[in-house]
Amino acid sequence: MQHENTMEKIISLAKRRGFIFQGSEIYGGLAGTWDYGPLGVALKNNIKKLWWKRFVEARSDMYGMDAAILMRQEVWQASGHVSGFSDPLVECTKCKRRFRADHLEDKKKCPECGGLLGDEKQFNMMFKTHVGAAEDASAISYLRPETAQGMFVNFKNVLDTFHPKLPFGMAQIGKAFRNEIAPRDFLFRTREFEQMEIEYFVTPGEWKEKFEHFRTEVWNFTKDIGLSQEKIHELEVSDADRAHYSKRTIDFEFDYPFGKKELYGLAYRTDFDLKSHSEKSGQDLSYFDETTKERFLAHCIEPSFGVDRTFLAVLTDAYHEDELGLKPSSNEDGSPEAGEKRVYLKLSPEVAPIKVAVFPLLKNKPTLVEKAREVFEVFRKQGGAVAFDDNGNIGKRYRRQDEIGTVLTITIDFQTLEDNSVTVRDRDTMKQIRVSGENLERRVSEVLAGVKIFDSF
Ligand code: ATP
């Protein structure tokens, strides 16, 4: 199947080039966990930085948070997760494999061995643990299945320390854990993942307006990270499918190679959480409006973004095999050879883990290497997302940089030693242009900032 083929190639590239490794790989792997390698963590951090910039730094109504993963069990009782955060589970009576009942077409027959499936049971997805040395019921805690509750339980702290007026929001990026019955599709459904969430508090009357505001902002964020807009679709979630706390939800779905699946959610959570926590904790979590002299519970709009699903969307969207059937050959000059495929990641400069790579044309010419090191240092001092590569012939080096999505490569050759000019190559078009030394820094930063297109060199 075509999409399986594409996913296999992407997973293999992600491993080969140091983006993503299987969790606990040397022990045979741990299902539903993945480890981010050096390039993966760089790309992931770029995504998180863009999110934080748009939703926290660029606004005056947002308060950043980083709450503890472990929380008192009462938090999850009040939120409804202890009683209701479960998926329907069925087990095959023959091969004993377990499946999510709502993902099966035939709820009676095992999709693996054809055996009879047992009765449907509710399986709670929270990872349970004990805090401290005692293992009694009072010590029970859970790894958080969402970051949201860390913000609701701190609502009063933010109110008391910063005295914000409604509307205002709290934002957090952090790990979440769900003991998924069937983790699958690489980073899409995992048991440990990261979320970027906002709880935006409003007066009950303004929820519709703010819901629309965040609907637009979700789209704007997908532009920040360079996702193809035509691959994103909104889905109005029906009454029957909405989470217990939500009065309106829009899912933002993305065309992954394995199908159209949820990337983000935008939900109107009403005052459900603040109300439950007020009742359970006995603390007053209401808001007093100085103008109207009214005291009430704030309502909440929640845009929720999965970091790993974003990473996967960015990676699959960026993966390209040259339509021309060309790849950089092993020719010294890196020119393409007919009949072979070139693989490259068309990442936007904002998310690309390496923006610029610097090559000396030949490894064994100290004058070229020294000059290339000098140029490399200039870009490294600017921010670090730069690579130095003198390993193998230039064609191989281009291929390596294309596969990791490096935006521009700069080659130092013999002409550089004469007139200080260099060759700059564009990843997407493979076009090469001669740029003078004094213009290099400015020209490169313009291209990376998207101010000038490569053609303007
Ligand atoms: P699904 O229906 O796919 O299980 P969900 O509706 O339960 O997802 P939410 O509870 O809305 O997901 O979680 C918010 C966001 O967290 C999702 O939009 C997604 O980006 C991310 N997310 C949720 N579950 C996982 C998971 N198992 N692995 C990776 N990301 C996840």
Report pLDDT digits (tens) over 232-268. Answer: 999 999 999 998 789 999 999 999 999 999 999 999 9
- Determine if residue 337 is labeled as part of a ligand binding site: no
Q: Give me the residue spans of the domains in the chain.
A: 2-70+147-316, 325-456
Pocket of ligand 1 (CB under 6 A): 178, 180, 189-190, 193, 195, 262-265, 304, 306, 308-309
Q: Nearest C-alpha to atom 14 of ligand 1 is from which residue? A: 304
How would residue 87 be classed by pLDDT, with cut points 50, 70 and 90? confident
Whether the pLDDT of residue 3 is over 70: the answer is: no
- Determine if residue 303 is labeled as part of a ligand binding site: yes
Distance, CA of 457 to CA of 439 (rounded, Å): 10
Distance, CA of 34 to CA of 23 (rounded, Å): 4
Q: Nearest C-alpha to atom 26 of ligand 1 is from which residue? A: 189
Mean of the per-residue pLDDT values of the chain? 92
- Determine if residue 189 is labeled as part of a ligand binding site: yes
Residue 125's Cβ-side half-sphere holds a number of Cα atoms within 13 Å equal to 25
More confident: 121 or 256: 256
Whether the pLDDT of residue 327 is over 70: the answer is: no
Percent of the chain at pLDDT exceeding 70: 93
Residue 135 confidence (pLDDT): 81
Radius of gyration of the chain (CA): 26
- How far CA 188 is from CA of 111, 193, 242, 315, in Å, comes to 21, 9, 20, 12
Ligand 1 pocket test, pick from 47, 189, 227, 244 with the greatest ligand atom count within 8 Å of Cβ, gives 189
Beta-carbon count within 10 A of 174 CB: 18
Whether the pLDDT of residue 323 is over 90: the answer is: no
Q: Which CATH number fits domain 325-456: 3.40.50.800, 3.30.565.10, 3.40.50.450, 3.60.70.12?
A: 3.40.50.800
- Determine if residue 170 is labeled as part of a ligand binding site: no
Ligand 1 pocket test, pick from 262, 263, 307, 311 with the greatest ligand atom count within 8 Å of Cβ, gives 262
306 CA closest ligand 1 atom index? 20
Which of 190-194, 220-224, 276-280, 394-398 comes out lowest in average pLDDT?
A: 394-398
Residue 24 confidence (pLDDT): 98
Distance, CA of 211 to CA of 149 (rounded, Å): 20
Residue 455 confidence (pLDDT): 57
Distance, CA of 221 to CA of 264 (rounded, Å): 11
> What pTM was estimated for this model as a whole?
0.93
In 110-135, which positions are buried (b, 16+ CB within 10 angstroms) versus exposed (e)?
beeeebebeeeeebbbbeeeeeeeee
For 2-70+147-316, CATH number?
Answer: 3.30.930.10
